[in-house]
Structure 1
Amino acid sequence: MSEPTFRQNLPDSGKATPWLGGVMILLFVMTPVLGYFAQLGFAPLLALVGLLALPVMGRPRAPVAPALILLLLALWGAWSMTWSPAAPPPGSLKAYDDIEKLTAAKLLLQLALYGAAVAAALRLSTRAADRASTFIGFGVLALAILVGGDALIGAKIFQKLRELTGDPVRPDIAKVKIGIGCYVLAVLFWPAAAALARRGKHPAVVLLLAGVIAASVLASADSCLVALGVGLLVWALIKFGGKAGGGVLTLAVAVPFVVAPIAVLAAIQTGFWAWLHGLVPPSWDARLNIWAFAADHVQTHPFRGWGLDASRTFGDAIPLHTHNAQLQLWLELGAVGAALAGAFFCWLAYGVTRTAETDRGSAATAGAALTSYLVIGALSFGVWQEWWIAIGALAIVACVALRRSSSEYGDELVEISPLG
């Protein structure tokens, strides 16, 4: 599609979008609630936002390329179930609950509904986007204060709330539960901080950062601290390096999707892996074992992979997933799946690069959020976890709203990337 056609399809940034604006405000009002109390709820929340947006969407406005890439990835995953050891036995899918458990089916639904949520953000008027971005900033700040404060007192607030709902939890479980909120904070910190800074609330930005760091330290969420640190480097790289910094980001995003299993195998052969084993704490030592096992088994089916959800079938060698998105993609969907996923994230990174030409602030924010999401995904969660995919969609929506609220908003947003 030519550039003029894209511009003809652009939503009018001055046109009123009260319904979509209200839907976005609902999304960001619920973010601190779910981020603290029920992180798994982000999946149904993003699905609800997509459903609420569909009646007023009209013609799709979001760029076609990323949706097509993700559709191909979902279809490849569905086809891989024909050889996956995790495939359900024939005839076992007799009820909705059985079908709902299929990762392939959920990926297609998520693409449709989460994609509608992102497309809705692209249609926001400047005023509606500005209002939504206000809720982004103060909502995430509230989450940081709540998670950080409760972590400081041993998650007693969380325990009390669970008691009131008739579902009490042990103190150690409560600490783990609120600790998951740190991962939400690490990703959403960037658009929230930008939204607060635009309103001149610089002390609030400092408080937000202190809350995220304190919560991550108290909850032992090491990968959140790594994500924040790397995100800060990327933010500075793009803020001060502009388009050149975005180019470095795109390359940095691409490399792990290409070389992840090769890099692990090379590190094992050279003895570097054994050296790492002697340095890291038990939780990271376990990750090293999982990554080594996964990289070794990638060699069995390097092109097609073992099949969707195959990571769950290796017993104690891989508890549920690989704790690394790139290795899980290689292991389950092979080079095809890793290439498709890598192409999607590189497309987002390239969008950041293009945005840096006209708005370095928004580009730096989006690049840092993208980096934080990928870093945590490379260290902590399974790539198909619904709530974690929803957090990625939420981060895109937040960056889109922030970008559309800017007086410098331009046509390049639709041409390149919803993260721009």
Structure 2
Amino acid sequence: MTFRSLIDRVATGWLLLWLSFFAVYIHMGGLAFAGLVILLGAVGWVVWLTQRQEYPALTRPGLVCLSAFLIFFLWLGVSGLWSGAGPETAIRLAGQMALFASIPILLRTRTEQTRDTLSHILMAMSLGGVAVLALDVASGYGINTLLDPIGPGESLNKRQGEAEMNIGRGHVVYALLTPLLIALFATRLSRGWAIAASLGFVAVLLTGTLLNRLAVAPVLLIGAAPLFWMGFRSPRWGLRLSLGAACASILLAPLVGVISRLMGEGVMASLPMSWDHRLRMWDYSLARISEAPLLGKGLDSSRNMQDAFTTRIGVDVPFVSLHPHNFGLQTWMEAGALGAVLLTIALLTLYRPLRRLVGVDPWRSAAVSGTLMSATIASAVTVGAWQYWWWGLVGLGLTLAALIPSQHRLNTNRLTD
């Protein structure tokens, strides 16, 4: 056995091992996706070292894209100098991005049989995992308590609150990955099983979110559906529209604060408390952006904002709860207009690498376009801009589209069946 074949086998085993825990990561709230990128990315670069003659490290569009993101992270790190947070978060994100760049190589160098096995692992883990999430909510988070019993003196309410938050994130993760999973069902299963798996997955996901009183996941599914369809019909326009939406959500984010301010006290008070808080948070964020519109207030500065308001039930809560719950507003607030422009440029450079990934394959294009739209919506209403797990999840959600069989292979299989 040659050194190259040994590395290749180890890499395949590594992929199979870590992706087999897919549902576990999600049940934990998705936080392990940052670590997964590190584990897979490191092995991906080792694989590239043994196969660098056949597979260049990065194509020119890929190098331009990586450079654009690294420039943005450099500016983000510089902004940490005047917020007092330092550049650590930006450095870690840049390192994660550099590691992630090898994962497409890792997937592309696997055999079709390996990609088929990985696809079935992801499909099985997702179908089982989304059902376990729903059962956990229905049992009052009994599965969480069973796996991690409550210790002496530990608060039951606190543990249930943490479980509710983790499962809520898990539902958001599954909603984000729904376009990818439906494309895998459609291309890896027979027509009847694909329809049953797709309908069953979505039904169980919606049931779980209903039991968990989470409105975000259904919004992601609804928002991604038109782009999924557009990507299937036209790979070029699916990518253009979904990336365009992502860029607009960053560049035009201050308009969210303007709209929130125009809502007024009466409208805010009539909404559910979570949305009341968000609107006030976005209004407050707009005010902070106006204080340093060009350079921003610095990386992670939103974590230290303690100004509070009194809720309708008489409790004082901070306007900003760790972060503004809007990717674009957080970018503007912490990195300024310069940071928003640099991030928008970086997002635009994704077009050519993603276009190369999807080619003319409708299912790949549908998966990538739908995933991009889901990520854009979630980033606009719920996640923090610099959360490592979120960057890892979105990156993997896009890259795993490489597991979807090409249209040429699907046509070949149908001719030989």
Output the TM-score relative to the length of structure 1.
0.81
Out of 347, 361, 377, the position equivalent to 1:359 is 361
Q: Is the 8 A contact 2:326 2:381 kept in 1?
A: yes
Task: Note closer, same or farther for the CA distance 1:376–1:258 as it changes in structure 2 (3 Å cut).
Answer: same
CA distance in 1, matches of 2:255, 2:35: 37
Q: 1:171 — aligned with what?
A: 160
Q: 1:78 — aligned with what?
A: 77
Task: Note closer, same or farther for the CA distance 1:250–1:37 as it changes in structure 2 (3 Å cut).
Answer: closer
CA distance in 1, matches of 2:163, 2:260: 37
Task: Note closer, same or farther for the CA distance 1:134–1:345 as it changes in structure 2 (3 Å cut).
Answer: farther
CA distance in 1, matches of 2:243, 2:114: 31
Q: 1:127 — aligned with what?
A: 113
Deviations 1:52-83 (A, max 9, x none): 22222124146212211111111111111222
Matches within 5 A, 1:334-373: 334-348=336-350, 358-373=360-375
2:367 aligned with 1:376: no
2:9 aligned with 1:31: no
Matches within 5 A, 1:58-77: 58=49, 59=52, 60-61=57-58, 63-77=62-76
Out of 20, 23, 45, the position equivalent to 2:11 is 20
Out of 267, 289, 294, the position equivalent to 2:280 is 289
Q: 1:190 — aligned with what?
A: 179
Percent identity, aligned pairs only, is 24
State the SS of the aligned residue for 1:320: coil
Task: Note closer, same or farther for the CA distance 1:295–1:119 as it changes in structure 2 (3 Å cut).
Answer: farther
State the SS of the aligned residue for 1:286: helix
Q: Is the 8 A contact 1:254 1:346 kept in 2?
A: yes
Q: 2:301 — aligned with what?
A: 310
Deviations 1:76-99 (A, max 9, x none): 111112222434xxxxxxxxxxx9
Q: 2:197 — aligned with what?
A: 204
Deviations 1:245-265 (A, max 9, x none): 443333322222221114532
Matched to 1:292, the amino acid is D
CA distance in 2, matches of 1:154, 1:218: 10
Q: Is the 8 A contact 1:23 1:53 kept in 2?
A: no
Q: Is the 8 A contact 2:73 2:90 kept in 1?
A: yes
CA distance in 1, matches of 2:293, 2:349: 24
Matched to 2:212, the amino acid is A
Deviations 1:136-180 (A, max 9, x none): 222211211111222222221111111199999533432332222
Q: 1:148 — aligned with what?
A: 134
Structure 1 residue 274: Cα displacement: 4.8
State the SS of the aligned residue for 1:111: helix
Matches within 5 A, 1:196-235: 196-198=185-187, 199-200=189-190, 201-202=193-194, 203-235=196-228
Matched positions, count:
377
Deviations 1:1-46 (A, max 9, x none): xxxxxxxxxxxxxxx9544333332332111011113632222222
Q: Is the 8 A contact 2:206 2:218 kept in 1?
A: yes
Q: 2:311 — aligned with what?
A: none
Out of 235, 251, 254, the position equivalent to 1:261 is 254
Q: 2:391 — aligned with what?
A: 389
Which stretch of the first structure deviates more once superposed, 159-168 or 285-294? 159-168
Task: Note closer, same or farther for the CA distance 1:391–1:247 as it changes in structure 2 (3 Å cut).
Answer: closer
Task: Note closer, same or farther for the CA distance 1:250–1:391 as it changes in structure 2 (3 Å cut).
Answer: closer
CA RMSD of aligned residues (A): 2.7
Q: 2:327 — aligned with what?
A: 325
Structure 1 residue 276: Cα displacement: 4.4
Q: 1:57 — aligned with what?
A: 48
Q: 1:138 — aligned with what?
A: 124
Task: Note closer, same or farther for the CA distance 1:23–1:390 as it changes in structure 2 (3 Å cut).
Answer: same
CA distance in 2, matches of 1:296, 1:353: 38
CA distance in 2, matches of 1:373, 1:43: 16
Q: 2:292 — aligned with what?
A: 301
Matched to 2:11, the amino acid is L
Task: Note closer, same or farther for the CA distance 1:245–1:275 as it changes in structure 2 (3 Å cut).
Answer: farther
Q: Is the 8 A contact 1:21 1:129 kept in 2?
A: no
